Amino acid sequence: MDVILFNGSVYTVDKDRPHAQAVGIKGNKIAAVGSDDEVLAQRTDATKVYDMEGRSVLPGLNDGHVHLLNHGIIQDNIILQGCKNREEVIRRSKDYIAERNIPHGDWVVGRGWDQNLFPEKVMLTRHDLDEISTDHPVVLTRVCGCMCVANTAALRAMNVFDETPHIEGGEIELAEDGKPSGRMLGNAEEFTYSHFPKPTKDQLKEYILRSMDLYVKSGITSAQVCDLGLAKVNFKDTIAAYFELDKEGRLPIRANMMLFLHTKEQLEDFLSLGYKTGDGSDFCKIGPFKLQPDNSLGSRTAYLSEPYADDPSTVGVLNNSPEEFYELIELAYTNGLQIVADAIGDGTLDMVLEAYKKLMDNYPKEDPRFCIDHCQITTEAILDKFKEYGVIGGLEIVFLTSDLHIAEERIGKERLKWSYNWKGFFDRGIPVAIGSDSPVEPYNPMYGIYAAVVRKDFSGYP
């Protein structure tokens, strides 16, 4: 035995033996669980022995949905979480530019603002960001990560200020004067990110390890990472960075790499490499193909079957048409990839479920393990389809701590009755995986566990 933890309160997650005193570890596997006497009897002179002094010992936790690489990247950006008004956003951004003495013309990027915390509850525009700088392209992403705002210099750098192109599955919003408001929605956000300077492979490795160091200290030992396909990063460099870190023995967390690819061209480029879901090592694998057909409730870009209660002019944004969505998942599935889709609105959930059903009918396979992540605006009929079709629910339960302040306003009381219905998944016996969606929400799993148990925000409301 390499390591023994004894004199602890061990939670085993084994219903036949839920508690123990000691754990023995050999290599990177738990090799023994039992009483102090049972496990200590297996020690050798080389065994490292730790007295837990009655402390709790839990199995490692899995994060079912996390943007680990992006979490590492944005630590170098402007951190805007918690800003209470537009003035604070502007001040933090100006301070960031001054402290780093960023040269004129270089991109300035931040993330985390939430207009629901502002007194006027109005989203930022390019005019707000122009107060930060007119000499730097400035892009600030909303806390949800599903839309961003660009200043005039950034819009000009992307050549979209004077002539605004149509972006399939996205919108460069226009103001009343016919000029861009600066708000980049849906796939227009990815278009924006594609203009950022690309990090090197060595920088990617540093970002990955930076995040993993934080995550493992919070008890996370494995994660489904949504890192391959960031518009600001070459996905081939990301694959190489992960596999090199694995080969070097430097990954402290097992990583299952989701393929967050947005277009048929990107998917075909990936498939040309010959990878399939499950390829890799015990510590680092190619995971499922992932699409994001809608966005977030807070930015009104989640796709609903009926208009928003607080803005009847919109039902949200659908990033992929039903036909395009099916074409992409069919190509991925028939080439050996598992499928995952993000879906928040009920309109998107129903579209994805029916696409999965069509795929299963056309290509029957035992346990295809289709999954839908987020699953927020649901109905009883939608949950029944999860059960009938055998689809996994990827639940970011921690979302409700933020959304409970806006959900009724966005969708009204009637739709809210059946939304954030996590218990509905469990009551039907639907398999679930729980995630944080960090950096959208805190990565520490205790926040998600808290939300699941008490259904309140972090201040105890309501």
CATH assignment of the domain containing 46: 2.30.40.10
Output the tens digit of pLDDT for each of the chain's 462 residues: 999 999 999 999 999 999 999 999 999 899 999 999 999 999 999 999 999 999 999 999 999 999 999 999 999 999 999 999 999 999 999 999 999 999 999 999 999 999 999 999 999 999 999 999 999 999 999 999 999 999 999 999 999 999 999 998 899 999 999 999 999 998 999 999 999 999 999 999 999 999 999 999 999 999 999 999 887 899 999 999 999 999 999 999 999 999 999 899 999 999 999 999 999 999 999 999 999 999 999 999 999 999 999 999 999 999 999 999 999 999 999 999 999 999 999 999 999 999 999 999 999 999 999 999 999 999 999 999 999 999 999 999 999 999 999 999 999 999 999 999 999 999 999 999 999 999 999 999 999 999 999 999 999 999
> What three-state secondary structure class fits 143?
coil
Q: Are residues 231 and 363 in the same domain?
A: yes
Is residue 461 in some structural domain? no
Is residue 366 located within the same domain as residue 238?
Answer: yes
Residues 366 and 258 in one domain: yes
160 within a domain of the structure (yes/no): yes
Residue 288 in any domain: the answer is yes
pLDDT in the model for residue 442 = 95
Give CA–CA dist 364/372, Å, rounded.
19
Region of 23 (left: φ > 0; alpha: ψ -120 to 50; beta: rest) is beta
CA gap 275, 446 in Å, rounded: 34
SS3 271: helix
pLDDT at 231: 79
Residue 176 in any domain: the answer is: yes
Among 377, 371, 379, 369, CA closest to 399: 377
Q: Peptide bond preceding 462: is omega within 30 degrees of 0, i.e. cis?
A: yes
- Do residues 283 and 179 both lie within one domain? no
- Which domain CATH number covers 172? 3.10.310.70
Say what the pLDDT of residue 106 is.
98
Global pTM value: 0.92
Residue 205 lies in a domain: yes
- Looking at 23, 39, 59, the residue that finishes a domain is 59
How many structural domains compose the chain? 3
Domain extent, residue 10, equals 3-59
- Whether residue 459 lies inside any domain: the answer is no
Q: From 402, 434, 438, 397, select the one nearest 226 (Cα to Cα).
A: 438
Instruction: Give the separation between CA 404 and CA 419, rounded to whole angstroms.
Output: 11
Q: Are 335 and 418 within one domain?
A: yes
CB–CB of 438/63 below 8 Å? yes
How many CA atoms does the CB half-sphere of 361 hold within 13 Å? 7
3-state class of 168 per DSSP? coil
Collapsing DSSP to helix, strand or coil, 429 comes out as coil
pLDDT at 28: 84
Report the relative pairing of strands 22-26 and 29-34 from DSSP bridges. Answer: antiparallel
80 and 54 share one domain: no
The verdict on 26 and 171 lying in the same domain is: no
